[in-house]
């Protein structure tokens, strides 16, 4: 099989699910609104600038999971999907996934956003295989800590390499679609890197390397 690897946020989605989850918690009065909104925005800007301390961010973003039961979290996520995620799933992204399936490729999402947020999104996109940052769980409850290597920047390469070994697969004929310069380590590994609605740094790099630059947004061609 050839892998069709996709980043999630701002690639298959017209927004950032991690940031939107934080906004959702603020809107539901489940966190300190002023503090959380300010820090959530700070971390987003640091991600965009390529200066994000992933461990600091995860300590912040995973903590609310530890304050609620699995049942509460499941109900909240259903609301989150309906209110925040379904409206930003990109139709052109779905079509791209379908084209790869029809070509015999295996879709895989590799995302820095944690699996609590992203597993239901991957399911909604019909994608079985997901590599995401894993929140630690103990006795069925989230602890607020991260388990293993976060799938961010070089961590995406580490996690994908482990996954390939476990699956007995390789990157022959592989594709990777991403919007972010943070994904350059993985983009450089695959046979077919594609910049999708990229940030300026990735756009310039893609052009210098002769990589395709595409848009999955309805208002762009």
Residues with catalytic roles: 7, 9
The Cα–Cα gap between 68 and 77 comes to 12
Give 183's contacts (C-beta < 8 A, 6+ positions apart).
Answer: 7, 153, 156, 176, 202
Nearest to 66 by CA among 130, 138, 133, 15: 138
Give 206's contacts (C-beta < 8 A, 6+ positions apart).
Answer: 193, 195, 198, 212, 213
The Cα–Cα gap between 134 and 116 comes to 8
Question: Using an 8 Å Cβ cutoff, are 111 and 10 in contact?
Answer: no
Burial 71-98 (b: 16+ CB within 10 A, else e): eebeebbeebbeebbeebbbebbeebbe
Q: How crowded is residue 158: how many other Cβ atoms within 10 Å of its Cβ?
A: 16
Residue 96 DSSP SS3: helix
């Amino acid at each position: 099989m050839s892998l069709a690897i996709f980043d999630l946020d701002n690639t298959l989605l017209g927004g950032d699910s991690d940031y939107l989850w934080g906004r959702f918690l603020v809107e539901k009065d489940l966190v300190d609104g002023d503090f959380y909104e300010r820090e959530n925005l700070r971390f987003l800007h640091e991600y965009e600038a390529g200066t994000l301390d992933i461990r600091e961010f995860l300590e912040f973003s995973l903590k609310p999971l530890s304050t609620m039961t699995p049942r509460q979290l499941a109900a909240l996520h259903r609301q989150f999907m309906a209110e925040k995620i379904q409206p930003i799933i990109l139709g052109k992204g779905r079509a791209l996934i379908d084209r790869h399936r029809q070509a015999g490729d295996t879709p895989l999402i590799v995302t820095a956003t944690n699996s609590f947020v992203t597993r239901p999104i991957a399911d909604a996109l019909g994608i079985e295989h997901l590599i995401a940052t894993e929140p630690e769980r103990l006795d069925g409850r989230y602890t607020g800590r991260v388990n293993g290597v976060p799938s961010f920047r070089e961590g995406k390469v580490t996690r994908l390499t482990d996954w390939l070994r476990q699956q007995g697969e390789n990157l022959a004929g592989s594709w990777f679609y991403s919007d972010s310069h943070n994904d350059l380590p993985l983009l450089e590994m695959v046979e077919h890197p594609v910049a999708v609605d990229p940030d300026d740094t990735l756009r310039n790099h893609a052009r210098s390397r002769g990589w395709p630059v595409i848009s999955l947004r309805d208002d762009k061609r």
